Amino acid sequence: MLVTGKEILVPARAGHYGVPSFNTNNMEITQAIIHTAEKLQAPVMVQMSEGAIKYGGQDLANLVTDMAQRASVPVALHLDHGSSYESALKAIKMGFTSVMIDASHHPFEENVRETRRVVEAAHAMGISVEAELGRLGGIEEHIVVDEKDAFLTDPEEAVRFVEETGTDYLAIAIGTSHGAYKGKGRPFIDHPRIEKIASMLDIPLVAHGSSGVPADIIARFRDAGGEIGDAAGIADEDLQRAVQHGIAKVNVDTDLRLAMSVGSREVFRNTPKEFDPRKWLGSARDLMSEIVAYKLKMLGAAGKA
Ligand code: G3H
Ligand code: 13P
Ligand code: NA
Ligand code: ZN
């Protein structure tokens, strides 16, 4: 069933499990997400960025909402990193049940103003809202507190931000970053900061940049002819600990991008004469489904639908 983000994330925060929100750009990615969630009886979120909307438009949004409506588990369609009020409104008109307004790069008061506008409009239509406070980016463990405070989310500010905006869930900067290069070795995650923010706010918290960038997938990517540098992702233990403390929505895009590429590349490498798209897209979909299943179990969402 197609539900709002709040219907999925409020129980997740209360039940101390994490719900992955996977980015989609086409049918095979969407099937891997939703069909695997059904198989594991897990709630799940599917998100489209503005880039995904540009790429797939209403066709892709309809594909997701149709599959969600027919699914046996709760599924939300979420706008990832909406850059403006207009963008959020457009997504709501397209059938999204959750929207992110990301004005985190603006000064605090402007972030509040833009977020509050979106909250008022979205709530009038029964749609949930995610906002962001703080700046994403990898940080080193040894950095002094003052420097961390310069861009990681400040707990007191987070409380004021939620009071003034009425956002339903809040993305916080805790040391994660987008993409396949999140730092050397095991990226530092500021767990005390998560605990502090969660102790002061009872709404669901969101972690962006939460891909694991698994070493075996990276090795297979290289084996199949791909080129990639010093890739690193967030450790499972860090995500599990974050979820225990109040992170309810865990954003994953990079891991499915990598899995999709590996699944396709392996078919091209192993069977150079193959040109039936169902073979390489099917292999891509199978490997993405494995990743989705792994995340749903690892974050504790499996069995929670
Ligand atoms: O955080 C960004 C997501 O990974 C989406 O990326 O804007 O290239 O679709 P995209
Ligand atoms: P990753 O790049 O770690 O997959 O993060 C995705 C994300 O945060 C989308 O909003
Ligand atoms: Na998001
Ligand atoms: Zn993000």
CATH assignment at residue 190? 3.20.20.70
Cβ-count burial 47-73 (b if 16+ within 10 Å, e if not): bbbbebbeebeeebbebbbebbeebeb
Q: Residue 199 belongs to what domain range?
A: 5-298
Please report whether residue 305 resides in a domain: no
Tell me the C-alpha distance between 56 and 54, whole Å.
Answer: 6
Which protein residues touch ligand 1 with a CB less than 6 Å away?
Answer: 23, 49, 51-52, 80-81, 178, 253
Please report whether residue 303 resides in a domain: no
Tell me the C-alpha distance between 188 and 126, whole Å.
Answer: 37
Decide if pLDDT at 105 tops 80: yes
For residues 166-174, give the mean pLDDT.
98
Tell me the C-alpha distance between 205 and 132, whole Å.
Answer: 10
What residue owns the CA closest to ligand 1's atom 8?
51
CA of 273 to the centre of ligand 1 (A): 33
Ligand that lies nearest to the alpha carbon of residue 79, given by its number in the listed order: 3
Confidence (pLDDT) at 142: 73
Residues acting as catalytic residues? 80
Q: What value does the mean pLDDT of the chain take?
A: 97
Q: How many CB atoms lie under 10 A from the CB of residue 109?
A: 9
The residues whose Cβ lies within 5 A of ligand 3, an ion, are 80, 100
What residue owns the CA closest to ligand 1's atom 6?
49
Decide if pLDDT at 267 tops 80: yes
Please report whether residue 177 resides in a domain: yes
Share of the chain above pLDDT 70, in %: 100
Which atom, in ligand 1's list, is nearest to the CA of 178? Answer: 1
Give yes or no for residue 252 CB within 6 A of ligand 2.
yes
Confidence (pLDDT) at 295: 99
Decide if pLDDT at 140 tops 80: no
Of the listed ranges 129-138, 142-151, 226-235, the one predicted with least confidence: 142-151
Tell me the C-alpha distance between 167 and 89, whole Å.
Answer: 15
CA of 177 to the centre of ligand 2 (A): 7
Confidence (pLDDT) at 259: 99
Judge contact between 60 and 25, C-beta under 8 A. Answer: yes
Tell me the C-alpha distance between 24 and 203, whole Å.
Answer: 25
Domain count for the chain:
1
Confidence of residue 137 (pLDDT cuts 50, 70, 90): confident
Q: Report helix, strand or coil for 207.
A: strand
Residues facing 82 on adjacent strands: 101
Which atom, in ligand 1's list, is nearest to the CA of 25? Answer: 9
Q: Which residues contact residue 292 at a Cβ distance below 8 angstroms, ignoring those fewer than 6 apart?
A: 20, 22, 32, 33, 36, 37, 44, 256
Confidence of residue 81 (pLDDT cuts 50, 70, 90): very high
Confidence (pLDDT) at 38: 99
Judge contact between 113 and 85, C-beta under 8 A. Answer: no
Q: Which residues contact residue 270 at a Cβ distance below 8 angstroms, ignoring those fewer than 6 apart?
A: none
Decide if pLDDT at 149 tops 90: no
Tell me the C-alpha distance between 101 and 129, whole Å.
Answer: 7
**Residues 15-63: pLDDT tens digits?**
999 999 999 999 999 999 999 999 999 999 999 999 999 999 999 999 9
Decide if pLDDT at 136 tops 90: no
Confidence (pLDDT) at 143: 75
Tell me the C-alpha distance between 230 and 222, whole Å.
Answer: 12
Judge contact between 170 and 243, C-beta under 8 A. Answer: no
Please report whether residue 19 resides in a domain: yes
Please report whether residue 136 resides in a domain: yes
Give yes or no for residue 130 CB within 6 A of ligand 2.
no
Confidence of residue 147 (pLDDT cuts 50, 70, 90): confident
Ligand that lies nearest to the alpha carbon of residue 60, given by its number in the listed order: 1
CA of 21 to the centre of ligand 2 (A): 9
Please report whether residue 304 resides in a domain: no
Q: Could you tell which of 252, 261, 292 is best to mutate to test the pocket of ligand 2, judged by most ligand atoms within 8 Å of the CB?
A: 252
Please report whether residue 292 resides in a domain: yes
Match 């895009």 to its residue by tokens.
253
Q: How many CB atoms lie under 10 A from the CB of residue 230?
A: 10
CA of 176 to the centre of ligand 2 (A): 9
Phi/psi of residue 80, nearest 5 degrees: -90, 125
Please report whether residue 249 resides in a domain: yes
Ligand that lies nearest to the alpha carbon of residue 187, given by its number in the listed order: 2
Q: Which residues contact residue 32 at a Cβ distance below 8 angstroms, ignoring those fewer than 6 apart?
A: 256, 285, 288, 289, 291, 292
What residue owns the CA closest to ligand 2's atom 5?
209
Confidence (pLDDT) at 164: 98
CA of 211 to the centre of ligand 2 (A): 6
